[in-house]
Structure 1
């Protein structure tokens, strides 16, 4: 699954039932199928169960039974169209599903109980059989232990070690609205996505099984190491089509033509978190790199867009699912840069077909082995498909800075967390964060740079070959890399933390590579621990300077003595081209974050931004604005903000004018990186009140309102829409809202949703917040995004915070925990910290994200106290000169 979503994976029994025309089937095996599902009828919501027993120790399943194969029959009762019933005000629709499952197991340790997972299901009629001795009578009964996630089958005799057994269960459940497990989704025929009343309505059922939702669709051993093969049969209404991980083996209509059976081929050995659907594919991106990562294991790899899905995408083996905006692109309407985002998401999910599906981590504490690899491989995939995107540079910098940001908190976590600390579903979900995705990718990139890409590829190829259809831990990866490398050495570096009073027990052995340059000559790249390097090599004079971590291959920050910092800063002001592009961005990021940790003076970091007046490349600007965003969050309600905006207006003027001829004529340059730079120039210029940018944006939007013809280039719409709504009032807001209601392009809708949050009118923002409570106005999967956007608006932050607290019961089921971290980013006073702590305590939210938010606010409070006056003076001096 992608990082922005919370991020993928394992149910073998996953499926989707899509609305299509009736497919004629061969009438076969009817008696067999009727026998299998004769008792499958709609039921009410399963009743609550009073429990007295305790769940298995440590909230993990015992290891005494190992599943080998499942046979699952599942019947969905929903109608793909609402049936209007005479004299009935409520249309005829149902959310019920039911079915049965048979799991074949190997007993490795004698036991008189079978534990497995089940949530929100009514489970009945257990039948346990000895496959080695079918005549043995084993009586069984269902017991719900103290936790709802567990199910116990109590037996009258003990299963014997080495024996082969099977467990049959009937189950009933309902498809809920939370987009986990088996859920229903609504869309309008011919319209990819809708906001508001769009007809005619159609329904589909889909699954999202990662990380712990397979247990809500059928009772199972829902842990990643308990892999098995799956045989799936879906019973669904005629007029719908069922899809699953494997190809369809047969489709059969029942005699009365109301129901249809779809039988799927057996899957490979897989975990319970890999699901699928079916749509004919064209050609895979080179992310597959089959010459390196072995051949693809299934006979199909389909991709499908859904109107509702959380996360953004899911790497179900053989059938990848996406939010529609993450897959669909329309020439001339969608932003050209939207194609870049789509390419990265697709590459990430396809990489998971190997890293996560074929080879899976043993337990969720090492989920970075899935997500870090998927992020890392996506760079190469997109770079191979579209080298003009330069994703290996842009995405690497983005991932590097994102990882550093979260890794600098003491409440962060290592890549591999002790397994005992990750037990509950919430603890598992908390690991789908920037450390897992971004830091994981950066560590792999550093490793590849140290050992060499070819050696790294060989090691990973052996890793995939040795553990295909199986499970691994990080030691298995390191062992295979070590097989492919001759030797490895390095120096010890300390874990970097914002809070200089915090201590870390985490140490890295990191080889350091650097270059020394002077006005006369450039020295070759050297390793810090190479014998030819002497102390004199680190002495700078007369403008000479040292640059370490060339091209940012290493996952570490670099600090220099003040003289070297000054020399680097002067070099960039005089001729920035002598500093490699990626290092120009990284020097800024290192300096600002070292300043936050009080390892260098904050004015040193600010001095490094002076060269931006003459900089037109994306990466340095992206790095500077990412870091100055922290200054905005801390000071946009203080006297610092005025001179800061004045400074940024002057810094960005050159970049804005560089692209102004394009912008004024609603055109974009052909170079992809330049398109990014143009967008950044418009965004920064308009946000900081550069008059020519504000005038351009308001006039273009007004022209659209006047003649209903949108001439604004899709690339520029996000910034222009936002500025126009921010500068306008009710008329501009209502116009954007109505366009959102009538649009059917996902990229356009995303930009309009964001623009609506830019208003400075608190009553409009409050109305927008209230709309998130109405699914006919804002789809469930968009609720989090809308509140997040409003919270990032200084005019809406307090509104969003109050709204979250007032509607916590509703929001906690829709990403509410992540919202807390977002809304708290601006908190920098003791009063705000006390409010957050009180809310966390009252709602018993002592989890990793909440701990990180509390720590970050404490850092903010101290940082503002120590730096506000000095920063104010620096900006005032710069704008006065």
Structure 2
């Protein structure tokens, strides 16, 4: 045991060294980590806020005034109180510090601002004494802008009053509470809040807690001031308040007697019924799952017309983009219905993970977002088992993670951050989807009951406080040892630190010895950039839970680890392999985050199984075989012949998820080849694979099924690709349905789940008449989901002048396009083969204008740079792209991480295309002949 402990200490030291070397080599955060300290000093701690904000909404003024009293405790003797404030006008003459013990008030000797760090620095004459409490009084003013951040204004058209209505909304995550009131704007600086909101008499307000009373406002003639109940201890980024003329629907009280309301603009209130049904059920589901009661007396959810995020989990007052809360049974698709349910579950999961227990610092953001993502998948499946969405969520997560985390410019899940600009960049696939998938991996190797009990232990211990990932590992380890789910000499921390403190994931190289029935299993980090890898790169190692099955031992659902690949060794010899004529398959149901590269004979055995009896291989493993073979072939570790032979079985495949994985890889080839002379050969290959499945699930006829969500996805994606590749009259059918709608706009017979596909196909193959008609429908629609479908579809046009006009409209305040939608417009246009050139030129010419329009930020359009990068195959394009990004480095500062990933992606593609272009085409020519011979 002592030897084990010594090895463990040696490994932990090596693990930390590896982590920091990876961070340094990647260059991701190093300069800022070692640079200026943006964190608040720890000498002063807030305990209580008494906050009053008076909001002015009129044609003459969109502003607010506030006063805040913050009770603070001095932890270390100091003569300064340093807190956050940004874009606020502080009335220095009204700043007062009061000694709570002696009831003595005094003015500061100096008040200063550090604008780079958003620090408000209040200096006093005599030192504040350790363990003593003080009251800090500050009066200030602020402006309601329209940048969708902090405390801002939003508007909407009210058909009942025939005019534009205005409202004031908050969005504080991650560091924008300081734009609404001076505060200690860090997650660990929890305090109790008493909030009062002044408003014009014709408006109403809501906040985190229930309304206690309303009084006439002494500082706002004719106005009222609403007083709210005191909150439990909470972080500033979770505070929320809204001034509006919204109405609500109220659900029946939950079994725990929680009041549940859905707020919307008056025109949309009938679209609140689905959320009104799902919200209370999800809340009760989590109470039962966590065995911890929801902590507040009420839960409000509100649909905001202008909202930058998808949704925000403010405690007791969750804010949503309209498309992710409102559902209209006649026009909103079933796929959108799933998205609404999933996002509601995600935000309600945050009421425990993030709100009740909050990460100490943004380094552990994944404790919020990874948990909420995984718990949303579990809860959505629990509430709607007929949708069977758990496997879908798994596939979407793992495909996204496999892709992004194969870049050197990815980052660890638990990543050091300091500058607020960095914090925004880690709200990404790694924090959300990799975090979620690793929790799923934990559930598989610990068992769900151990996981649930460990989570309950963690929540109870840290309720109303802050925690970090080591606290979670400790709770799960203790529970696992009690339950016998983990060997006593193993800890969750030792296993999981290799997954959360390192960038990337492993590929297992499995080489079978067919004479001895053994297999040598070796791990290494998987990287797309295999062309430029250096032998002296830092070696990494993961604790990998090994599960496997074979042709005569079909353990389809056994995801308990057969053994562990441990560190620092990372290599093992496995015995009891199957006979030489049987295939072996690792990672049953993708229960852990790794790829697998087999020896060539085992690959050939798996290809034979797919082509003759593919149902013996679990559907999730068919997904992995498709995606792993594509990725390994990309890096040169596998022959493209093997990958394409795996794809050829798809002419028989009738399950959605393998097709989803295949089409994800088709899309990569499509973007790389469509502007080359070889594209026709690729088109023939993809069309040959699509024809059989299009006949079974494609087209516009309604399919009768028990699982309407999965079948809607399947029909939608196959119809889109069928139309793109001109299969079976798909384009003609699309035009016919659209023309019928144009003739009679009150009767849209296009199936609601296929409208986005139909609109895009028609615009790709139509002209100005169709575009203008669809734009007019966007302007008329009162359904946010339908508006979003139209908005994205408008980017499918191939007419250059219309695309340029569309981009210009997107950054014009009088076009009717909301700022929240600009990113999706740019990304959609850029994904279009003509739009690729249009968006590039538009960005190259107008990036400063876009930056200014978006409130001195490019974060909202950052995804467009990856959309462009994914289509670059020539050195000249790459150099042009890099020069543009370099010239605009200052403007792109808040998108720096995404830019680095886009550049790396483009560099890899240029090198890959140079090496593989001809090989790919020759392989596809042979396979086109073979597929035509396969008996369906």
Shift of 1:701: 1.0
Aligned equivalents of 2:203 and 2:436: distance in 1?
Answer: 40
Asked if 1:95 is matched to 2:140, the reply is no
Q: 1:425 aligns with which of 395, 420, 424?
A: 420
Aligned equivalents of 2:634 and 2:378: distance in 1?
Answer: 33
Aligned counterpart, 1:671 = 707
Asked if 1:859 is matched to 2:908, the reply is yes
What do the CA deviations read for 1:824-844 (whole angstroms, capped 9, x no partner)? 221222222222322222222
Asked if 1:513 is matched to 2:543, the reply is no
Q: 2:633 aligns with which of 595, 612, 616?
A: 595
Q: 1:658 aligns with which of 687, 692, 696?
A: 696
Q: 2:434 aligns with which of 411, 416, 439?
A: 439
Q: 1:213 aligns with which of 160, 176, 179?
A: 176
Aligned counterpart, 1:164 = 133
- The structure-2 alpha-carbon separation of the partners of 1:521 and 1:774, relative to structure 1 and needing over 3 Å to count, comes to closer
Shift of 1:203: 0.6
* 2:289 partner SS: helix
The answer to whether the 8 Å contact 2:53/2:64 transfers is yes
Aligned counterpart, 1:734 = 772
Shift of 1:807: 2.4
Aligned equivalents of 1:523 and 1:478: distance in 2?
Answer: 26
Asked if 1:75 is matched to 2:88, the reply is no
Aligned equivalents of 2:805 and 2:340: distance in 1?
Answer: 31
What do the CA deviations read for 1:283-323 (whole angstroms, capped 9, x no partner)? 52336421332110000111110101010111110011111
- The structure-2 alpha-carbon separation of the partners of 1:467 and 1:810, relative to structure 1 and needing over 3 Å to count, comes to farther
Asked if 1:841 is matched to 2:886, the reply is yes
* 1:414 partner SS: coil
Aligned equivalents of 2:555 and 2:427: distance in 1?
Answer: 46
- The structure-2 alpha-carbon separation of the partners of 1:485 and 1:536, relative to structure 1 and needing over 3 Å to count, comes to closer
Aligned counterpart, 1:119 = 86
Aligned counterpart, 1:13 = none
Aligned equivalents of 2:294 and 2:328: distance in 1?
Answer: 29
Asked if 1:545 is matched to 2:509, the reply is no
Aligned counterpart, 1:414 = 412
The answer to whether the 8 Å contact 2:201/2:224 transfers is yes
Aligned counterpart, 2:729 = 692
Aligned equivalents of 1:810 and 1:455: distance in 2?
Answer: 54
Equivalence map 1:183-202=2 (5 Å) = 183-190=152-159, 199-202=162-165
What do the CA deviations read for 1:590-630 (whole angstroms, capped 9, x no partner)? 11112222221233222211111111211000011112211
Shift of 1:518: 3.9
Aligned counterpart, 1:799 = 838
Shift of 1:493: 4.0
- The structure-2 alpha-carbon separation of the partners of 1:261 and 1:492, relative to structure 1 and needing over 3 Å to count, comes to farther
Shift of 1:706: 2.2
Aligned counterpart, 2:822 = 783
Asked if 1:244 is matched to 2:233, the reply is no
Aligned equivalents of 2:231 and 2:555: distance in 1?
Answer: 61
RMSD (CA atoms): 2.4
How many residues end up aligned between the 2 structures? 802
Equivalence map 1:548-587=2 (5 Å) = 548-587=586-625
Q: 1:463 aligns with which of 455, 458, 463?
A: 458
Shift of 1:567: 1.1
What do the CA deviations read for 1:651-676 (whole angstroms, capped 9, x no partner)? 1111111135xx45456644222222
Equivalence map 1:707-718=2 (5 Å) = 707-708=744-745, 709-718=747-756
- The structure-2 alpha-carbon separation of the partners of 1:698 and 1:805, relative to structure 1 and needing over 3 Å to count, comes to same
Which range is displaced more, 670-679 or 64-73?
A: 670-679
Aligned counterpart, 1:289 = 286
Shift of 1:530: 8.1
Aligned equivalents of 1:521 and 1:730: distance in 2?
Answer: 57
Shift of 1:426: 1.2
What do the CA deviations read for 1:247-305 (whole angstroms, capped 9, x no partner)? 10111234886211000000110001013468533452336421332110000111110
Shift of 1:138: 5.3
Which range is displaced more, 760-769 or 499-508?
A: 499-508
Aligned equivalents of 2:574 and 2:378: distance in 1?
Answer: 38
Aligned equivalents of 1:801 and 1:645: distance in 2?
Answer: 26
Aligned counterpart, 1:499 = 529
What do the CA deviations read for 1:692-750 (whole angstroms, capped 9, x no partner)? 21121111112212233311110111111111111111111111111111111122112
Aligned counterpart, 1:879 = 928
Q: 1:352 aligns with which of 326, 350, 353?
A: 350
What do the CA deviations read for 1:344-398 (whole angstroms, capped 9, x no partner)? 1111111111111111111111100000000010111100111122121001110
Shift of 1:776: 2.8
Asked if 1:822 is matched to 2:867, the reply is yes
Aligned equivalents of 1:67 and 1:414: distance in 2?
Answer: 31
- Highest RCO, 1 vs 2 (Cα 8 Å, sep ≥ 6): 1
Aligned counterpart, 1:333 = 331
The answer to whether the 8 Å contact 1:126/1:140 transfers is no
Aligned counterpart, 1:831 = 876
Q: 1:59 aligns with which of 38, 43, 63?
A: 38
The answer to whether the 8 Å contact 1:495/1:508 transfers is no
Shift of 1:466: 0.8
Aligned counterpart, 1:811 = 850
Give unmatched runs, 5+ long, in structure 1.
Answer: 1-55, 80-91, 192-197
Aligned equivalents of 1:119 and 1:266: distance in 2?
Answer: 25
- The structure-2 alpha-carbon separation of the partners of 1:136 and 1:766, relative to structure 1 and needing over 3 Å to count, comes to closer
Shift of 1:641: 2.0
Shift of 1:205: 0.5
- The structure-2 alpha-carbon separation of the partners of 1:143 and 1:545, relative to structure 1 and needing over 3 Å to count, comes to same
Aligned counterpart, 1:384 = 382
Shift of 1:822: 2.6
Aligned counterpart, 2:269 = none
- The structure-2 alpha-carbon separation of the partners of 1:468 and 1:701, relative to structure 1 and needing over 3 Å to count, comes to same
The answer to whether the 8 Å contact 2:171/2:240 transfers is no
Equivalence map 1:259-270=2 (5 Å) = 259-270=223-234
Aligned counterpart, 1:128 = 97
